[in-house]
Amino acid sequence: MMKSLWGGIVVALAVTLAGCGNANRQPRYDVPAPLEIKPFKREAAHERQDYIFTMKREAYSKVTEPMRARMSPSQKALLERHGQPDYVRRGFHATTGETVDEWAWWDRDVIAQFVQRELVWEGKLTDMDRTRIRYGYPRRSWSQTYESGVKRDLWDYQGLMVDTQGSIFSFADEKLVYTSRYQ
């Protein structure tokens, strides 16, 4: 009996160590068959204010002073191309397991994402991004992807008290399709 107990402990230890060695090794790009690197936009793993992963409502900080932090060459090039970003979102955890920083240029309609200070995605500022910048994280959120590939998101913004006024925003592939206010 003691021999099988030690054998089980050794197997469990080996499985645990093998899994820990592969931690946080998600690919940064989708790589189709002919090895064409295709950047993709990272999504937050926790898209709502839940007081566990996201303590405050504000998602982005307005940039008021010149950015003087240590920057990578890709960040410097982006600053030269677009100028100072209007908003910065620091260190959110993506569904890929990466920690992502975002810079947003409101008037230029551009958003960029960085992983370990390297540019991994640059694209158009969507309605969903603009809502997150303007209102912060929603109180509650739901997400669903249909068989057709369309991703639907529903965000509910409500005050701390149950009887307060709120707003609902519905998105289809990050485009605003419906909004409503309630009491």
Residue 137's pLDDT band (cuts 50, 70, 90): confident
For the whole model, what pTM was predicted?
0.73
Q: Can you tell me the distance from the alpha carbon of 129 to that of 85, in angstroms, rounded to the nearest whole number? A: 14
pLDDT tens digits for range 147-171: 898 999 999 988 766 667 889 999 9
pLDDT tens digits for range 71-112: 899 999 999 999 999 999 988 889 889 999 999 999 999 999
Residues 59, 34 contacting (CB under 8 angstroms): no
DSSP 114-169: EETTEEEEEEEPPHHHHHHHHH-S-SEEEEEE-TTS-EEEEEEEE-SSTTS-EEEE
